[in-house]
Amino acid sequence: YLYNNRYADQVFKITPSNDEEVRTLREILGHMKVDFWQPNSASLICHNATVDVHVKRNDTVFISNLQKEIEKQTGYRSSRKRRSEAQYDYEVYHSLEEIQSWMFMMNTTHPNLVDVFSVGKSYEGRPLYVLQLGKKRRLQKKAVWIDCGVHAREWIGPAFCQWFVKEAINSYQYDSVMTRLLNQLNFYIMPVFNVDGYRFSWITLQDRFWRKTRSKNHKFHCRGVDANRNWKVKWCEGASSHPCDDTYCGPFPESEPEVKAVAKFLRKHKKRVEAYISIHAYAQMLLYPYSYKYATIPNFNCVESAAHNAVTALYSAYGVKYRYGPASTTLVSSGSSIDWAYRNGIPYAFAFELRDTGYFGFLLPESLIKPTCTETMRAVKAIASGVLK
């Protein structure tokens, strides 16, 4: 895959094998204007761990022609007729507007199982919609929160949230596990957490790899905050304090209206919310607290067992292997949503990193939406079933 192409943005895949190479790579990439896919910054490069970086034209490559890959997976190709078809296609990526219309459509067609509400507004004034999924009951039910699309470029996230709702509704009263889950639990599902960033990642080819929110910074021309470094838990101790960085923690905790709104909702319902699940990409991992320190959580055995069951269920679909463990063992970070959820009394807090391990990276082809969502569905059902027990 290594050759020059002067006309396309490209992706490097590099694995430094010793300390010398790590030092060199940190130095070179630290001075270049590159977009880190994994890890999040030059300082986190370590030996025998793959580094994926997106580089502007005139460089060498992993995905040799990025533009083609981007066009393959978006509405940029005119053959797409998705907007005119009454039948919603869950095996393509959808724009923010399509996803929001779909949420209201689900509420209209399945009022016995689905409600739509807004938890607040984004920086640019867009409503932050959440679906409540579950059989309507007078009594208060335990709940599971699932959010997708915290990072704009991770398009497989919102695709999974929609898939989950579709599968849950279609299998209700046919699948005994799903029937029990919807009868006894409420699922709060937020298909697009970072609405402004997600919409921005659809606008032009150049913006496809946007990660952060779209808030403005008054001192710098750079925009946005990493919505998974902005939570009020060990804030900015393991994140960047520079507004131009992809892991910028923000000017203060919960500075981002999206984070503040979700935190407020979860605080209000924390007695009922038993599990918090955040869907990210990519790495094929299932992570749980802590993110900010190497220490064992008090209910480690229960959480570890739930993670093991989830990963085993996922593997049973297509034999795809996920690693699982505390988030700090892969990357120490502070201000993360799983640490915040756990700290606020939610006993099961998980972050999924979906497919793949770097071949397509954020450009997971639409042909892989179905298998990725099918296997992840098994894992999430396993976690929710554990919550019921």
DSSP 11-51: EEEE---SHHHHHHHHHHHHHS--EEEESSSGGG--TTS-E
In sequence order, the 6+-apart residues with CB closer than 8 A to the CB of 274 are: 142, 143, 144, 346, 347, 348, 387
**Is 284 within 8 Å of 358 (Cβ atoms)?**
no
CA separation for the pair 293, 304 (Å, rounded): 17
SS3 112: coil
Please indicate whether residue 353 is annotated as part of the active site.
yes
In sequence order, the 6+-apart residues with CB closer than 8 A to the CB of 187 are: 131, 132, 133, 134, 143, 144, 145, 146, 164, 168, 181, 384
CA separation for the pair 229, 292 (Å, rounded): 10
Whose tokens are 């990439």? That residue is: 29
Of 69, 154, 254, 353, catalytic: 353
Q: Which two tokens stand for residue 359?
A: 């071949």
Q: List the Cα angle 174/178/184 in 5-degree steps.
A: 120
- Residues marked active site are found at 353
